[in-house]
Amino acid sequence: MKNKIQMIIFIITQLTGIILAQNLNQTEIDSIINDLYSDDWTVVDNATIGIIYNNITEALPILRDNFWNQSLNSRISYLEAMKVLQSQETLSYSLALFDTLQIKTYQGIDTVYKKLYLIDELFDLGDFSKIDYLDYCANNSMSKSNLELCIQLWGRLLSFPNYSLLAKNRLLEFIQLDRYWEVRYKAMSWLEDYYMAELSQLMINRYHQEDNDVIKFNIIRKYTHYGDFETVANLLKYILVNDTDTICKQIAYEKLLTEYRTPSNYVYVISWLNDESSYSEFKRLNKVYEEYICPGTPFQPDSTISIKEIIDTTSSYVSQSIMYYWLGDLTLSNDLKNILTTAKTNLQNGDSLACRVQVQTFQDLVDNVYKDSLNSDPRFVTIEGWKFLYWNAQYILDRLPKP
C-alpha cells in the first residue's frame, strides 16, 4: 500500500498546497498529532499522511489509544499510519476492526468495501485468515466495484504458493460465471501472468458464450496463439461468418490468410468473399490484403514442427491442390508425391543432403509447370497451387543443410 500513500501525498500537496517537510519543529509536530482527535475525517486523514511522511513515531500512542473513539474512516487512516510506522499492534487492530464490521453496519458506508480493503491490508501484514470472506463475496450479490476489488485480492494470492491454486480456481470461476464483463476481464488479466496456456484454452472454448466485444477481441488477438491449430482455425471461420463485430471479423479474416493459411482455410475465406451476402468492405480489403500486405504464402511452421511433418503437410497440399483444381493432371500429382516420399525416406535414413535434392526437385517441378501452364500440356499449376507448394518446399529447404 506504499504506492497508495505516496499517491495521496502527491495529490494533497498538488491540490491544497500543503508543504510537508522532513524536519518539523515541535510545534508543527504537536499540531499534526492534535489533528488526530478531530471529528472531521478529512482532517484526520491529512494528519495521518503528515505523520507517515514525516515519520512522527511519537504519534503511535495516540493512534493506539484513540483508535476506537474515531469514525470508521478515521480508523482506516489510523491503521495506515500504524502500519507504515511499523507498530506491532497493527495486525491485532486490523483483525479487530474487521471482526467489528462483521457484526456492525454504518449508515452511508459500504462496509463490504471496507472489509475487502482491510483484507488487502492484512495481506500486506502476512495474514491470510480472512480469505473465506472473499468466497462470501463471490457467492453473494455484490456491486461491480466490490467484485473488482475481490478479483484484485485473489490476484494477489496468485503469488503466494500456499494459495495460488485456490486463487487460480476462483479467478477461473469469475471468468465463467460473473455477469460483469469488467470483472471477467480483470480476472483474465491476473491469470495471464501465471497460467496463460490454461487460460487461453478456456477463453478459446468459451468464445461462443462471450457477449462482450472487448473480451472477444482479446481472445482473438492474445489467446489464439496458445491454442491448437485446428481448434483456432475453426473458431476463426466461425467468427468470420457469424460474428457481428466488424473488428473481430477483420482480425479473423487476416489470421486465416496469414497465420492459419492452409488450402482449405484459404478456400473457405474466398468462398465467403464470393457470397453476395458477405460484407462488401471485406471484398475490397481482400484485394488490398493480397496485393500489398500478404504475399499469399502459406503459414510457416515454427521450430516445434519437424521437417518430416512439413513434408507430410506438403504432400497433403498436393492432394488438396488437385481437389481445388489448382493442379492439373493426375500423373503430375503422383510425380510430386513420389518425390516427397523419397525425400522423407532419405531424411529418415539420416541423409539430409539427399532429402534436400529431392525437395529442390519438387520445388523446381512446381515452378516450371506453373511458368509453362499457358502451353497445351495438360499439366498445370495455378497461382494458388504454386504459392502453397512452392513456398512449403522452401520452408523445408530452409531447415535442411546446404551441400
Q: What is the pLDDT of residues 42-54, one digit of tens each?
A: 999 999 999 999 9
Q: 374 lies in a domain? A: yes
Q: Tell me, yes or no, whether 120 and 152 share the same domain.
A: no
The string of pLDDT tens digits covering residues 192-228 is: 999 999 999 999 999 999 989 999 999 999 999 999 9
Q: 236 lies in a domain? A: no
- Which H or E element spans position 328? strand 327-328
Mean pLDDT by 10 residues, the chain (403 residues): 49 44 81 94 94 94 95 94 94 96 86 94 95 86 86 96 95 86 93 93 92 92 92 95 86 88 91 72 62 68 92 96 92 96 96 96 95 75 93 95 87
Q: Tell me, yes or no, whether 314 and 364 share the same domain.
A: yes
Q: How many domains does the chain have?
A: 4
b/e for 105-122, b at 16 or more Cβ within 10 A?
eeeeeeebebbbbbbebb
Q: What is the pLDDT of residue 15?
A: 42
Q: Tell me, yes or no, whether 248 and 316 share the same domain.
A: no
Q: What is the pLDDT of residue 21?
A: 46
Q: Tell me, yes or no, whether 9 and 117 share the same domain.
A: yes
Q: What is the pLDDT of residue 279?
A: 65
Q: Tell me, yes or no, whether 124 and 179 share the same domain.
A: no
Cα distance between the two ends of the chain: 63
Q: Tell me, yes or no, whether 63 and 11 share the same domain.
A: yes
Q: Tell me, yes or no, whether 276 and 216 share the same domain.
A: no
Q: Tell me, yes or no, whether 110 and 198 share the same domain.
A: no
Q: What is the pLDDT of residue 289?
A: 61
Q: 173 lies in a domain? A: yes
Q: Tell me, yes or no, whether 150 and 219 share the same domain.
A: yes
Residues facing 381 on adjacent strands: 327
List the domain range (segments joined by +) for residue 359. Answer: 307-399
